[in-house]
Amino acid sequence: MARGDIPADVRKRIAEVRNQRARRLLELIVEHGEVTTEQLTSQYGYNHPPRAKKDATDLGFPIVSRTVSSKDGSRRISAYSLDLDAAFVEGRFGRRAIPKATRAELLRRADGRCAVCGAVYADRVLQVDHRVPYEVAGESDAVDLANFQMLCPSCNRSKSWTCERDCPNWIGRDPSLCLTCLWGSPDRYEHVATRGRRQVTVVWDGEDVAAYERLAARATARGQDVATYLRNLVDDE
């Protein structure tokens, strides 16, 4: 994308962005057509350019990146630009903050448990998660509790990693496929990132830790890790 190719309506939308980090990145793309992570760091003071990119994509701007060489040619870096063909994807309203009342009700329904691993956490630890990733379906006009779940930080990071790195639907963007996945519907799923897979995350906490230690000792006595030991127990039935 060459400098000056960005339509007036896209420029207007950029001018309305309130997130300063995202707006500055978008303004630089408008000015130069493309901006590298090296330029963002050395010339414009960005400590973490990918964070600015995510801020912009969260607002509905499809930032694309390509790999280029650094100015001295010693390393590979990213260059960001706008995918104008996807600049206004229908249904993308920009990520909004979750209202306090909505979070409170989600916490009440979760009863302190992560939807994926089932472990109990303090309310302040649990995080509101879009069952269908925002990057796939965007944000709806109204807040519907059915669209969210509470995850612990560990499961939330695992979901992000799996969706972004392993799932072809990150490109295909079919919300219905996300809702039949472990990460979208942990209690009734058909696949994990489109693969015919089943998995269980079990957490032993508090008084249950002693039970885990006994289990681990049995596994060690057989020369196995805990997961292998549990899997063999099922196979032996």
pTM above 0.75, yes or no: no
CA 151 – CA 133 distance, rounded (Å): 13
Q: Which residue(s) pair with 79 in the sheet?
A: 36, 66
Evaluate whether 231 touches 222 at the Cβ level (below 8 Å). no
CATH number of 8-86: 1.10.10.10
Mean pLDDT of the chain: 87
pLDDT tens for 200-210 read 888 998 889 99
pLDDT tens for 206-226 read 889 999 999 999 999 999 999
The encoded tokens of residue 192 equal 């994990």
Instruction: Decide: helix, strand or coil at residue 211.
Output: helix
Helix 20-32 to helix 49-58 angle, to the nearest 10 degrees? Answer: 100
pLDDT at 3 over 50: no
Q: How far apart are the first and last CA of the chain?
A: 61
pLDDT tens for 97-128 read 678 899 999 999 999 999 999 999 999 999 99
pLDDT value at position 4? 52
Supply the DSSP string of 122-135, one letter for each residue: -TTT-EEEESS-HH
pLDDT value at position 49? 87
* Stretch(es) of the chain classified as CATH 1.10.10.10: 8-86
Evaluate whether 60 touches 106 at the Cβ level (below 8 Å). no
